[in-house]
Structure 1
Amino acid sequence: MKKPLLVIIVLGLIVFFTTVFTVDERQQVVILQFGDPVRIITEPGLHFKLPVPFQNIVTFDDRLLEYDVAPEEVLSKDKKSLIVDNYVRWKITDPLVFLKTVQAIPTAITRMDDIIYSELRRELGTHNMTEIITEAREEIMEKVTRNSDMATDQYGIKVVDVRIKRVDLPKENEQSIYARMEAERNRQANKFRSEGDEEAQKIRASTEKDKTIILAVAYKEAEEIRGEGEARALEIYAKAYNKDVDFYEFLRTLETYKKVIDDKTT
């Protein structure tokens, strides 16, 4: 009596554990019946299915996924070779389509890699190197993301974001690029120095002109003042002479003696 009961309990446990399963918030599940998909489960919680081998489950990640793309060489519009290192954020939006087309994440990454590299190469080829490095990078990556997302929709994949981490020059091109950049900077520096020297010469010439004018005006005014002073002095001398001629002659004689006789005269 006990043995058949034990067998029934064991069989019941086996049936229970092969029919009941849980889906957490990080997962989405496709239920297969004899290899054909019959149901998709995206809600977390406890779920039921037929026991194996009638039905089994395939689990896919429901989170935002990310992978680094290996650095690749692309050619810009101005024929500059660039080594582009980028990464991709993506997620599985339709697990059934995903299962039918690519089946697993490694295969999906391979397909996305081909699509994104093609879009990146095509879009970067319409921009110059300076635009890729600085000015238009945000706009370029938004367009690459949008086109890549449209191309991967057939695999049940949504490309959320494509971003460039780093842009480098090929090793064999670095020296020549740096030399051209240095030559351009030197050309601009020489131009600025030449313009500065020209402006300095203009300022010095203007200053010399102003100096000459100021000195001439000052000399003229000084001569006018000196002439007025001498005229005034003569007028004063004349008035003094007319008032007392003898005293004036005596005063002039003393001034003459003072000039002729010095301290060494005995």
Structure 2
Amino acid sequence: MNKLLIGLGAVIAVLIVIASSSLFIVEQTQQAIVLFFGKPQETIREPGLYVKVPFAEEVVYYEKRVLDLDPPKERMILADQKRLDVDSYARYRIIDPLLFYQTTRRVSEVSGKLTPIINSSLRRVLGNETLLDILSGKRATIMVDIQKAVNDAVKRFGMEIVEVRVRRADYPDETRSNIENRMKSEREREAKEFRARGFEMAEGIRADAGKQKIVILAEAQKKAETLRGEGDSQAIKIYADAFNQDPEFFAFYRSMQAYRKSIGSEDTTLVISPNSDFFRFFGDITGKQATK
């Protein structure tokens, strides 16, 4: 009885193993290839529960979803002979599992297949464009051309390129250093030109100011001489009119001015004869000399 139970249990266990080996599930995000002793037998694209021959058939699963590829940075030469280190990325999906299995087998091998194709397409398309084209509105068209070129090349692997993008494009280190030095030299040259131009303008302004100063001073001096001459003329006329109106008073006034100028200061010393005409108004207001 015990032997019968043990045998029955063994049979059930074998049946469970066989059943589990005969059934497999394909998820919504998966597609599969059924291999019969290593040879592709069937392609399954729809999700569900499927049956296979235990121990004879094997199932290989592939993603239906879009996958990412990040190739290493590559140096490109543009149509204007400028060099750029281009950092790109791509997104792809497997559209033919059988062809993918026959040409690539594993997703881990995709990078080795796609990276040279992507870089070659980038090099070919960018080699016909200038840096200005890449930086301008033409960039989107360039990316479409690159994607088409890559797609044409990867169809034979059962893949489709959904997107190719240039993440970053930089000048190589040595080129960037040369550009920075050239820009620095250019800025220094411009600064020197601005300083020279400013100095020249300052000199011009100073020279113009000097000329204006000379002209203004000359005009002022001329005007002063004119005014002085007019003043002297008027003074002479006033003196003449005063003399004509009252010669004696005019003589008296002129003598008073002479006294003030000559003896108005405390340290002035005059040695003059008392009978000199200079003192004629000291004796008589009429200016006549006093008689002894």
TM-score (norm 1): 0.70
1:19-54 deviation line (CA, Å, top 9, x unaligned): 242526xx332343641343214xxxx621113545
Question: Which residue in 2 is equivalent to 1:90?
Answer: 91
State the distance in 2 between where 1:104 and 1:206 align: 85
Q: Hey, what's the Cα distance between the residues in 2 that align with 1:86 and 1:40?
A: 34
Measure the CA separation in 1 of the matches of 2:197 and 2:22. 86
Q: Deviations over 1:174-215 (max 9, x none)?
A: 776666555555544444444444444444444334334433
Task: Identify if the C-alpha distance between structure 1 residues 158 and 170 changes in structure 2 by more than 3 Å, giving closer, same or farther.
Answer: same
Match of 1:246 among 228, 245, 248: 248
- Out of 142, 145, 148, the residue aligned to residue 147 of structure 1 is 145
Pick from 76, 97, 102 the counterpart of residue 104 of structure 2. Answer: 102
Distance across 2 between alignment mates of 1:13 and 1:237: 150
Superposition RMSD in Å: 3.9
Q: 1:263 to 1:126 in 2, by over 3 A?
A: farther
> Unaligned regions of 5+ residues in structure 2, if any?
270-292
Matched, 1:23 2:33: no
CA-to-aligned-CA distance 1:38-96 (integer Å, 9 cap, x gap): 3214xxxx621113545624122614514141x3333344545x461413031215253
Residue 67 of structure 1 contacts residue 88 of structure 1 at CA under 8 Å; is this kept in 2? yes
- Partner-residue secondary structure (3-state), 2:51: coil
The one-letter code of the counterpart of 2:166 is: R
Alignment of 1:49-88 (within 5 A): 49-51=50-52, 52=54, 53-54=56-57, 56-60=59-63, 62-69=65-72, 71-80=73-82, 82=83, 84-88=85-89
Q: Is the CA contact (8 Å cut-off) linking 2:92 and 2:162 kept in structure 1?
A: yes
The share of aligned pairs that are identical, in percent, is: 26
Equivalent residue letter for 2:256:
L
Other structure's SS at 1:136 match: helix
One-letter code aligned to 2:91: W
Does the 8 Å CA contact 1:241/1:248 hold for their aligned counterparts?
Answer: yes
1:76 and 1:127 in contact (8 A); partners too? yes
Counterparts of 2:86 and 2:218 in 1: how far apart (Å)?
73
In 2, distance between residues paired with 1:196 and 1:207?
Answer: 16
CA contact (8 A) 1:20 1:48 kept: yes
- Give the corresponding residue for 1:121: 123
Please tell me whether the aligned partners of residues 76 and 86 of structure 2 are also in contact (alpha carbons under 8 angstroms): no
Give the structure 2 partner of residue 47 of structure 1: 48
CA deviations on 1:139-196 (whole Å, 9 max, x unpaired) are 576455323321333142225232243524365x777666655555554444444444
Structure of higher CA gyration radius? 2
Q: Once the 2 structures are TM-superposed, how far is the Cα of residue 113 of structure 1 from its aligned partner?
A: 1.6
TM-score of the two chains, using structure 2 as the length reference: 0.65
Instruction: State the structure with bigger RCO (CA 8 A, min sep 6), 1 or 2.
Output: 1
Q: What's the CA shift string for 1:224-248, capped at 9, x where partnerless?
A: 4444444444444444445544333
2:121–2:150 CA contact under 8 A, matched in 1? no
Letter aligned with residue 145 of structure 2: N
C-alpha contact 1:29 1:95 (8 A) present in aligned 2: no
Which position in structure 1 is the counterpart of 2:15? Answer: 11
Residue 266 of structure 2 is aligned to residue 263 of structure 1: yes
In 2, are the aligned partners of 1:85 and 1:166 still within 8 Å (CA)?
Answer: yes
In 2, are the aligned partners of 1:65 and 1:89 still within 8 Å (CA)?
yes
- Gap regions ≥5 residues in structure 1: none
In 1, Cα distance between equivalents of 2:84 and 2:238 = 98
